[in-house]
Amino acid sequence: MKNTTFKKIYKTLPKDLVERIDYPKVNTTPSFWVEINDIVYDEANNQIYNMEKVPIIAQSITDIGINHPPVVWKDTNILIGGHTRHESCKQNGYKYIPIENSKLEFVVDDLDRLEVLTSDNIVRDKTFADRFRAVDVLVGAYFKKYPNITKEDDEFKRRFRGWLSREKMKPSNYTEMIEMREHPVWKTKYYDEVLNPKSKLFSKPEVAYLQATFVYPTMKTKIDLMDNLFNRDDINSLTFAVHNALKSLKELTIPISDNLSIEPFSVADRNFFSSAVHTTICQWLKTKFNSFDSFEDDWRVTDNQDFHDVISEKDGTGLEVKTRVVKTNTAPSWEPRRFKPGYHFLWAQDDEMDSVYCCMALLSEEDQKPITGTHKIINDRLWELKKDNKVIELVGKMKKDKGELKFLYQPMTFAK
pLDDT value, residue 413: 78
> Where is the domain boundary, 43, 73, 106?
106
In a domain, 221, yes or no: no
- How far apart are alpha carbons 133 and 137 in whole angstroms? 6
- How far apart are alpha carbons 193 and 174 in whole angstroms? 15
73 close to 1: Cβ distance less than 8 angstroms:
no
Phi, psi of 122 (to 5 degrees): -65, -25
CB-CB neighbours of 197 under 10 Å: 11
Residue positions counted in the chain: 416
- Using alpha carbons, select from 375, 359, 378 the residue that is nearest to residue 367: 378
In a domain, 204, yes or no: no
- Using alpha carbons, select from 211, 210, 195, 78 the residue that is nearest to residue 137: 195
pLDDT value, residue 368: 92
In a domain, 159, yes or no: no
Domain CATH number, residue 398: 3.40.600
In a domain, 310, yes or no: yes
pLDDT value, residue 392: 93
CB-CB neighbours of 334 under 10 Å: 22
In a domain, 248, yes or no: yes
| Residue 101 shares a structural domain with residue 236 | no
> Where is the domain boundary, 64, 87, 106?
106
15-48 burial, b at 16+ Cβ within 10 Å, e below that, comes to eeeeeeeebbebeeebebbbbbebbbebebbeeb
pLDDT value, residue 415: 47
- How far apart are alpha carbons 366 and 361 in whole angstroms? 13
How many contiguous H segments (helices) and E segments (strands) does the chain have?
Answer: 13, 17
SS3 85: helix
> Where is the domain boundary, 59, 89, 106?
106
Give per-10-residue mean pLDDT for the chain (416 aa).
90 94 95 96 74 90 95 94 92 96 92 85 74 94 94 95 94 95 92 86 83 71 82 93 93 93 90 93 96 92 84 91 89 88 94 92 90 86 92 94 91 69
- How far apart are alpha carbons 382 and 1 in whole angstroms? 57
DSSP one-letter string for 200-222: -S-SSHHHHHHHHH-------B-
Phi, psi of 124 (to 5 degrees): -70, 155
In a domain, 137, yes or no: no
- How far apart are alpha carbons 129 and 48 in whole angstroms? 9
Q: Dihedral of the CA atoms 89, 94, 96, 99 (nearest 10)?
A: -10
Beta bridge partners of 357: 348
In a domain, 25, yes or no: yes
**Structural domains in the chain (count):** 2
Kind plus residue range of the DSSP H or E element containing 284? helix 270-291
Beta bridge partners of 401: 404
SS3 380: helix
- How far apart are alpha carbons 193 and 187 in whole angstroms? 8
pLDDT value, residue 99: 97
In a domain, 227, yes or no: no
| Residue 239 shares a structural domain with residue 373 | yes
- How far apart are alpha carbons 164 and 122 in whole angstroms? 12
Q: Domain of residue 3: give its range.
A: 1-106
pLDDT value, residue 372: 72
Domain CATH number, residue 84: 3.90.1530.10
